Amino acid sequence: MRLASTSLQKAVRLLKRGELVVMPTETVYGLAADIFNSQAIKKIFILKKRPLYDPLIVHFHDRAQLNSLVKTIPSSAKRLIKAFWPGPLTLILPAHPNISPLITANLPTIAVRMPNHPVALKLLKLFGNPLAAPSANRFGRISPTSLKAVKQEFGKKMPYALEGGNCQWGLESTIVHFPEDKKGKKGKPEILRTGSITVEQIEKVLRQKIKIQTKTVLKHPKAPGQLARHYAPRTRLILLPSHWRHQSIPFPKNSAFLLFSQPTSFTKNQFILSKKGSLPEAAKNLYAFLRKLDEKKFNVIYAELAPNKALGKTINDRLKKAAH
């Protein structure tokens, strides 16, 4: 993706002045602010209408910057860093005392990731400081995977934005937490939010089974992924039971069908995530399709779950949350 250097310079100027900038990443678009400017960080929460108890992910471009963000890095985290950074993996590590409690929501930990998108990396390099960046959508809504989607979210309040094309993954980063008790005793790493790096990939690097947090709560979650309803379209979304193709279910008028790969002969308004049955392609299309379906004002969206492996686990997690 070619980007005029004047756009990057303008973005840096705005960030230095404490303004927000929309930044493309390989997962979804982010809403970025200087981590050392509390006024700027507050603007993120206001624009997104995000509750202050929901902490932010800090993005940076150089591994050396990590030492100013976290206190310690467990050896298993180091292995994941080596395998997946830059890339769609967020680590929850003990926060450095200099980090603003606005970013961590007063938790003793901080979420960090090195994104893998040329525009994000150039912006981070030119700006110098790390950037806090949640997904560039209003709280509880679907993450944006194109600049057009970000504009739909913010309308007249749209901040300055860098174009980065359609996001390569289309689903958020995977969040891995390294628990520690009060005495500093380390527990087993666990996945707080499934994402673009699969559970299987992480287990292979760590050479152990890894637990996925499935607990959902209504408020004060350890990860947003834990909020019971999230990533939601405005239209009601209902999950189809696995046997739905073999039963005659009376569907109401003006229903849409969000299907994984196989069309059917007995319904109208079918939207197929990947005709060739590719999980990465389905993942990349998921949020864009949900937005498109919302615009078409169907009465109900019936969604079919993907095969429950690799990226299919993340797709299904998001569909279940959208259906809650």
Binding mask 132-151 for Mg ion (x = CB under 5 A): ---x----------------
Binding mask 57-96 for ligand TXA (x = CB under 6 A): x------------------------------x-x-x----
Burial 189-225 (b: 16+ CB within 10 A, else e): bbbbbbbbbbbebbeeebeeebeebeeeeeeebbbbb
Burial 119-137 (b: 16+ CB within 10 A, else e): bbbbbbeebebbbbbbbbb
Residue 194 sits in the site that holds Mg ion (CB under 5 A): no
Give the nearest distance from C-beta 44 to ligand TXA in angstroms.
9
Residue 173 sits in the site that holds ligand TXA (CB under 6 A): yes
Residue 222 sits in the site that holds ligand TXA (CB under 6 A): yes
Q: CB nearer to Mg ion: give 135 or 152.
A: 135
Q: Please name the residue ranges forming H helices in the chain.
A: 5-16, 38-48, 75-84, 101-104, 118-127, 147-154, 199-206, 279-295, 311-323
Residue 107 sits in the site that holds ligand TXA (CB under 6 A): yes
CA torsion 54→143→209→219, rounded to 10°? 30
Residues 183-212 that bind ligand TXA (CB under 6 A): 192
User: Which residue stretch of 50-58, 76-84, 210-218, 293-301 sits at the interface with ligand TXA (rule: CB under 6 A)?
Assistant: 50-58
> Does the N-terminal peptide bond of residue 86 adopt cis geometry, omega within 30 degrees of 0?
yes
DSSP β-bridge partners for residue 302? 238, 257
Which of Mg ion, ligand TXA, none does 312 bind, CB closer than 5 to 8 A by kind? none
User: Which positions lie near ligand TXA, rule CB under 6 A?
Assistant: 25, 27-28, 30, 54-57, 88, 90, 92, 104, 107, 109-111, 115, 133-135, 172-173, 175, 192, 222-224
Which residues are at the interface with Mg ion (CB under 5 A)? 135
